[in-house]
Structure 1
Amino acid sequence: MQDFFRIDNILFEVLGYKMSHLEFYGFVSGAIAVWLSAKANIWSWPIGIVNVVLSFFLYYQIQLYPDMFLQIFFFVTNALGWWRWTHPRPGEEDRNKELRVSFMGIYTFIGICLSGLAGTAVLGALASQLHHWFPAFFPIPSAFPYADSFITVMSIITTFFMIKKKVECWIIWIIVDIVATYLYYVKGIMLYSVLYFMFTVIAAFGLWHWWKEYRAYQPQCI
C-alpha cells in the first residue's frame, strides 16, 4: 500500500509519459469533485477528501510545498463544507433544504483579492527559505515559491466563501486554476495540468450555474 503513494509507482505509459497511480487517481477524484461542486452537489466534499489525500503525497514529491500544506487545510474544509451544506441555518436553505447561493458584494470581493496578494508575498518569502530552515524535511528548495503560494493563499480564502456558497468564489477559482495549469505544466505533471485546465472550464460553468440558481430563487428567498 505504501508504494501506491510513490510518484515512481507507474500505472501506465502514454507517448513516453509515465503515469503514476498517484497522479491518475488524483486526477480522476479531483475532476469529479470540482464538477460536482459546480453543480452544487453535496458529494463534491467527500470525493474532494480523497483528492486532497492523494495530492498531498504528490506535491511533496515534486517540491510544491505550499501546495502540500494546502491539502491539510483542504482536508479540514472539505469536512466542514460537507457539514455546512447539509446544516443551513434558518432562512439559508434552498429548495433541497441545503445552504442557498448568495453574493458577497463588491467591496468584500476587492478586499479578499488585496488580502490574497499580501498573503502571497509573505508565504512566498517563507516558502523560499524552507530548505534552509528545515533541511531534513525539505532537502530540495521549493519550486516556484511565489506562484505556488498564490495558488495556496487564494485557494484558502476562496474555499471559505465556497463553503458559504458565495457566487464570486468562482471568479477567483478561474484565476487560480489558470496559474495552476501553467505551474503544473512547467513541473512536468501533465495530467494535473490538464486537470486544472478542466477546472478552469468547470469554474466558468460553476459561475454561470450558481448565478443562474441565485436568479431562480423565489423573491422571499433573496
Structure 2
Amino acid sequence: MLHSLYEFLTAAVGNSPLEWVAVLTGFACVWLAARESLWNFPIAIFSCALYIVVYRRSGLYSDSLLQVMFIALSVYGWYEWLYGGRNKTELPVSRTRPWEWAVSVGFIVAFTTGFGYYLAHNTDATVPYWDSFTTASSLAAQYLLMRKRLENWWLWIMVDIIYVPVLWYKQLYPTSALYALYLGLATYGYIQWRRQLYKELKIKN
C-alpha cells in the first residue's frame, strides 16, 4: 500500500525535471499562440525537443516522432506568420478552406490506420491507434495553425480531450494535467482568434 502510494506521488511530481521543463514551456507556447505572439514558435521548438525524450522514454513512439515534425513545422510557421500574407505581409486570421478540410481528414484517417497498424505489430506501443490518431490530428491542427486558420483550435480541443486520459494512463501525470490546461487554452485561443477575424472583416468592409 505504502509502496503504491510512493510510486503514485513520485510519478505525480514528474518522472524527471525534464518533463516539468517541457510542461512549463509547452504551456507558454500555447498561451502565446492563443495571443497571436510570434514568440510561440521558438518556445515551441524548445519544448518539442524536450518532449522527444519524454515520450520516447514512455513508449509513446508516435508522439515522440510528432515532436520532430512539430519542430520543422514551427520553423515554417514562424516564417508564414511573418511573411505569409499578401505581398509578404503579416499573415491574418482566416477560415479553413474546404480542400484543407478534405486533405486534413484524409490524412488523419490514412495515418491512423497505417501507422497504428505498424506500431501495433512492430513495437511495444500500448495504445498504437490512439497514439497514431492524436499524432495525425495534431499534425493537421499544426498545419492549420501555421496558416492561421481559425478552426485549428477545433482540432486542438479534440486532441486535448483524448490526450488527458491517455497520458494519465501512461503515468505522465504532469503532462496529462498540462493537456487539461491546453483544453482551456484552446477554447480561449478560438475565442480570441474569432474576435480578431471579425475585426479584420469589419476593417475590410
- Which structure would you say has the larger RCO, counting Cα contacts within 8 Å and 6 or more residues apart? 2
Partner residue of 1:34 out of 30, 37, 51? 30
Which residue number in structure 1 is paired with residue 44 of structure 2?
48
Match of 1:200 among 163, 183, 200: 183
Indicate the SS of the match to 2:86: coil
* Residue number in structure 1 paired with 2:85: 89
Q: Is the contact between residue 30 and residue 182 of structure 2 (CA under 8 Å) also seen in structure 1?
A: yes
Separation in 1, partners of 2:167, 2:75: 26
- Matched residue SS, 1:217: helix
- Which 4+ runs in 1 deviate beyond 6 A? none
CA deviation string 1:11-35 (max 9, x = no partner): xx99444421111001000000001
Deviation at 1:128, TM superposition (A): 1.5
Q: What does residue 178 of structure 1 align with? A: 161
Task: Quote the Cα distance in structure 2 between the aligned partners of 1:175 and 1:200.
Answer: 8
Q: How far apart, CA to CA, are the structure 2 residues paired with 1:15 and 1:125?
A: 34
Structure 2 equivalent of residue 121 of structure 1: 113
Contact 2:157/2:183 (8 A) holds in 1 = yes
TM-fit CA distance, 1:82: 1.1
Q: CA RMSD in A?
A: 2.1
Q: Is the Cα–Cα contact under 8 Å of residues 18 and 54 in structure 2 kept in the other structure?
A: yes
Contact 1:84 1:163 in 2 (8 A): yes
TM-score by length of 2: 0.88
Matching residue's letter, 2:42: P
SS at 1:40 equivalent: coil
1:77 aligned onto 2:69: no
- SS state of the match for residue 55, structure 2? helix
Residue of structure 1 equivalent to 2:95: 103
Pairwise CA distance, 1:56: 0.1
Count the aligned residue pairs. 197
Q: Percent identity?
A: 27
For residues 21 and 116 of structure 1, do their structure 2 counterparts lie closer, same or farther at Cα, with a shift above 3 Å needed? same
In the alignment, residue 59 of structure 1 is paired with which amino acid?
Answer: Y
Q: Is the 8 A contact 1:170 1:204 kept in 2?
A: yes
**Alpha-carbon distance in structure 1 between the residues aligned to 2:145 and 2:199:** 19
Residue 130 of structure 1, CA deviation: 2.8
Once the two structures are superposed, what CA deviation does each residue of 1:152-186 show, in whole Å capped at 9, x if it has no partner?
11111121111000001100110001111111011
Gapped regions of structure 2 (runs ≥ 5):
1-6
Q: How far apart, in 2, do the equivalents of 1:213 and 1:92 lie?
A: 20
- 1:144 matched to 2:127: yes
| Distance in 2 (alpha carbons) for counterparts of 1:217 and 1:92 | 17
Letter of the structure 1 residue corresponding to residue 175 of structure 2: Y
Q: Could you tell me whether the CA contact under 8 Å between 1:173 and 1:203 is conserved in 2? A: yes
Q: Distance in 2 between matches of 1:114 and 1:73?
A: 18
**Which structure dedicates a bigger proportion of its chain to helix?**
2
In structure 1, what is the equivalent of residue 199 of structure 2? 216
